[in-house]
Structures are given as C-alpha cells and as structure tokens.
Amino acid sequence: MSLPNLPLDGLSAIVTGAGRGLGRAEALELARLGASVVVNDYGQPGRDGTGESSATPAEEVAEEIRAAGGSAVAHHGDVSDFERARELIGLAVSAHGGLDILVNNAGILRDRMIFSMSESEWDSVIRVHLKGHFNTTHFASVHWRERSKAAGGPVYGRIVNTSSEAFLAGSAGQPNYAAAKGGIVGLTTSTALALAKYGVTANVICPRARTRMTEDVFAGFQEPEEGTLDLLAPEHVSPLVGYLASPAADGVNGQLFVVHGGMVAIVERPRVAAKFDTTKESFGYDELDALLTPHYASRPPNETFAAAEVLTLKKG
C-alpha cells in the first residue's frame, strides 16, 4: 500500500474514531497515499465464543492496512480523556518516529430536542466531540511546536477536524451535536492562526456519510442501486482528507468544506449584512426599535444565521 513517490510517503498520521465508517475510510485513504497510520477507536479486545481474544475494529483496520503493504498500529483510548489523548500522540511518535497528520473524527450522537435533552446527553456529546478534538490537538500542537523550536523553523503538520452540516444549517433535534460541531469550527480557525508560524495547517470538513453513527439520520435517503457507489459512502469524503493532509494543501489553512456524494463546497466566513449607528451617545430602546424592527420586517420571516441551503448542495 505504501509505495515510493506517493504524496504522503514517509509521513505519520493519526485518525480518531477510525474503527468503522468515515474514520476507517480516512485511515485507509491516508495509508493508500503512503502514510503510516495510528488507527484510534475506543474499546478493548473482547472474547469470542471459544474464549479467544477477539480483534477490535481498530485492530481490524490496522491489519487491513498492513495486509495491503502499509504500516499501521491500533490505539484503543478514549480521546475525550486527556491522558489517553497524550498516549495517542506518544504512540505515533514512538511507533512511526513522529506525527505529521492528525485527523479528528471520533464522535457520538445523543439526539433529542432541547426541551427533552438531559444533562448527561448534553455533556457526553460535548465531551467526545469538542473536548476530544481539543485534547488531541493540544498534544499534537505541543509536539509540533517543540519540533519547530528544535529545527529553528517551520515543520510539517496537518490537522483535519470534523464538523457537520448540523452546525451550519441548525439541526433542531441535535442541539448538543450542533453546538459541539460549531465549537470545533472555532477551535479549528483559532488553531490555524496559532500554529501557522510553525508550519502547521488546520482545516475543517462537514461530511455527509452513511455510517453506523448516522444510520438513523440518513434512514430516509435513497439507497444506492446495485453495483453503484452510495452517494453517502464515506469514500466520497476520504479523498478530500487525503488532499488536506498532503504537501499540495500547504496554502489551505483555516478553511471549511462541505463534502459528500462527489461534491466539495467551500464555505465562506460570515459577512456583515447590515450596520446601524446611533445618532446619540449610545443606543436606547426607541432608536433600536425604529431601526431594527423595519429591517427585520423586510426580511424572510424564518431566515436566521443558520445556512439551511447547505442541505440542498449536491453534485451537478
């Protein structure tokens, strides 16, 4: 799998949540492009019906990479645990001599309307998605900063984070998930600015893929015809991750992409739609009423900051 002259040849990568679905496809793609991969997924080896130890999904993906000629090791830690995240970065360094690429993908769903959501459903999703992204990014950034100081200049570093259209469009039944994914965008743009001088880029993708985690979300979407690639297949997403991890993407930093079904869309940063100045020293209620009420009366009644139109994006 790892051959000379491939774009990621000689580079080391971590993919979190890579035992199944989107993370698995990303790990396989990075390996196909030449990277040595640490396949992270939460869960310890169990026992099969004969009492023998059974392989975890992370180990199965790592073995799949090795069987194809690549280099991979498995890691079973929970990335929302600060110390397990430290161990994950350390494993990449000890197994492959360093870390060059970090793909944060691990996540869970606990969908419910805001008025029905429990504290634990909120906390668990924020912890795994947002804190998990922070934990690995923190230790990876320490690694790259130290390498840069030792080298006396920039080093090679790539971060690809995973947000969601739920953040962009405002998913009514996923307040925890949308909040976590919005936080990941803020984390990414902050990281992109902080680490640029060290040679590290950070970008974020909003993928749409049919996986075990999203099987209920996409239950109503059309299934693929026999012999054709599902428009929601993770394999539509993983090539963009491979590109963003590569030297070719050196000039791509702090960007947000929507990707699925043979389509990649670049989402622009928010722009100021209107500005009002007080005619006095400071605003009062009456002046704001006179300015803002007619402004919003002229706009579509259900238009919000959310960009629901991203949900209509498709190839063609």
42 CB-contact burial (10 Å; exposed 0-12 / middle 13-18 / buried 19+): buried
Report d(CA 187, CA 13) in Å as an integer: 20
118 a catalytic residue:
no
Report d(CA 126, CA 30) in Å as an integer: 27
* Strands of the 157-162 sheet, one edge to the other: 72-75, 36-40, 12-15, 101-103, 157-162, 200-207, 256-260, 263-267
Degrees to nearest 5, angle at CA 36 with 32 and 37: 90
Report d(CA 95, CA 73) in Å as an integer: 8
The single residue of 148, 156, 181, 243 carrying the catalytic annotation is 181
Residue 260 near residue 229, CB atoms below 8 Å? no
Strands (E), 101-255: 101-103, 157-162, 200-207
Count Cβ atoms below 10 Å from residue 219 Cβ, excluding itself: 8
The single residue of 177, 198, 243, 246 carrying the catalytic annotation is 177
For residue 61, give both structure tokens: 């993906």
Three-class SS string for 284-302? CHHHHHHHHHHHHHCCCCC
The single residue of 164, 171, 238, 246 carrying the catalytic annotation is 164
116 a catalytic residue:
no
Report d(CA 186, CA 58) in Å as an integer: 29
Helix (H) or strand (E) holding 15: strand 12-15
Residue 136 near residue 88, CB atoms below 8 Å? yes
For residue 212, give both structure tokens: 């075990």
Phi and psi at 160, nearest 5°, equal -120, 115
177 a catalytic residue:
yes
Active site residues: 164, 177, 181
